[in-house]
Amino acid sequence: MSLLVVGSVAFDAIETPHGKVERTLGGAASYFALAASYFTRVRVVAVVGEDFTAPDEAVLRRSRIDLSGLERACGKTFFWSGRYSPNMNERTTLATELNVFADFRPTLPDAYCDSSHIFLGNIDPSLQRSVLEQVRSKPRAVGLDTMNYWIERTPAELRETLRHTQILMINDDETRQLTGEHNLMRAAKRVFRMGPGTVVIKRGEHGALLVHDKFLFSIPAFPLEEVHDPTGAGDSFAGGFMGYLASAGCINQQTLRRAMVYGSVLGGFAVERFGVEGLTRLTRAKINARARRFSRLTSFTL
């Protein structure tokens, strides 16, 4: 099994009530790849600029992360800056400098073209589709993230890419916006008609909901005493989810439920530290222990 992710690698400047960093490795593909690497090998397709140094790359350079698809372009790396409100429920974007990301055209190294699992991070839907077109054999599972920007500006392209997607992973507001339906259950049914047979609705501190034609699964977020930086929670969730699924091989009700748990576990670890730091020193033992705590958190007998 081999998991490919396309998305952003960025530098972030982040301010939360717990601290401030001026330049830390970020971007959806970074969080995703680190989270997924505890489960399976991950192939990264992204672009960075000349300011992306060896120490930056060292954070991502792990035995299970393949960076041969990390393109180096002339110019600066994508930069994002944001500040969280005192209760961290809201954030203000202070700066978004696309830089080399503006001209990003994902190109897969030959060795990536047999990827069995693919995650299309939140980028232009036509670029997401270009990744699928470069994969030779039909992948076992395609997951997709998107956002209000693409839902509003490129609805036709997004619809076309969704036709080739099995798992849509977005938040509740995006689900409502995409479908024009407030009720999430009815919204999920509309998504089914667009292509994906599985809708994973990420709800941040309220957990996540999986809607499948045949079953429902809902998991709360693990109640944490220390939340230092919510950045990347959803991307880490996606990485844990897709990483576990790729490692499991088959996709069925049991593995999808477990993928939700591992996604939640990785999302929780991510927010306990600044930037990607919460994801860099984990072990499978720590991940499994947190998963068992999830089991105790949610289990009951009737």
Q: Is the Cβ of residue 153 or residue 186 nearer to a copy of itself in the bound state?
A: 186
Rounded CA gap, 93 and 14, in Å?
10
What is the pattern of x (binds a copy of itself, CB under 8 A) and - over residues 180-199? --xxxxx-------------
Q: Is the Cβ of residue 68 or residue 298 nearer to a copy of itself in the bound state?
A: 298
- Asked whether the CA dihedral 249, 250, 255, 256 is positive or negative, the reply is positive
Q: Is the Cβ of residue 68 or residue 183 nearer to a copy of itself in the bound state?
A: 183
Q: How far is the CB of 62 from a copy of itself (least distance, A)?
A: 24
Q: Is the Cβ of residue 26 or residue 207 nearer to a copy of itself in the bound state?
A: 207
Task: Return the residue of 41, 117, 129, 203 that touches a copy of itself, per CB under 8 A.
Answer: 203
Q: Does 133 contact a copy of itself by CB under 8 A? A: no
**Binding segment toward a copy of itself, per CB under 8 A, in 34-42, 130-138, 160-168, 176-184:** 176-184
- State both tokens at 41: 């090998």
Q: Does 211 contact a copy of itself by CB under 8 A? A: yes
Q: How far is the CB of 126 from a copy of itself (least distance, A)?
A: 31
Rounded CA gap, 204 and 67, in Å?
29
Q: How far is the CB of 198 from a copy of itself (least distance, A)?
A: 15
What is the pattern of x (binds a copy of itself, CB under 8 A) and - over residues 220-259? x--xxx-x--------------------------x--xx-
Q: Is the Cβ of residue 260 or residue 282 nearer to a copy of itself in the bound state?
A: 260
Q: Does 215 contact a copy of itself by CB under 8 A? A: yes
Residue type, 114: D
> How are strands ordered across the β-sheet holding 10-16?
19-26, 10-16, 79-84, 91-97
Of 274, 204, 234, 282, the C-alpha closest to 15 is 274
Task: Return the residue of 108, 260, 270, 279 that touches a copy of itself, per CB under 8 A.
Answer: 260
Q: How far is the CB of 145 from a copy of itself (least distance, A)?
A: 21
Task: Return the residue of 92, 96, 148, 288 that touches a copy of itself, per CB under 8 A.
Answer: 288
Q: Is the Cβ of residue 58 or residue 185 nearer to a copy of itself in the bound state?
A: 185
Give Cα 255 to chain centroid, integer Å: 18
- State both tokens at 84: 């969280």
Rounded CA gap, 243 and 220, in Å?
20
Residue whose structure tokens are 């190109």? 107
Q: Does 217 contact a copy of itself by CB under 8 A? A: yes
Residue type, 109: P
Q: Which residues bind a copy of itself (CB under 8 A)?
A: 86-87, 182-186, 203, 206-207, 209, 211, 215-220, 223-225, 227, 254, 257-258, 260-261, 288, 291-292, 295-302
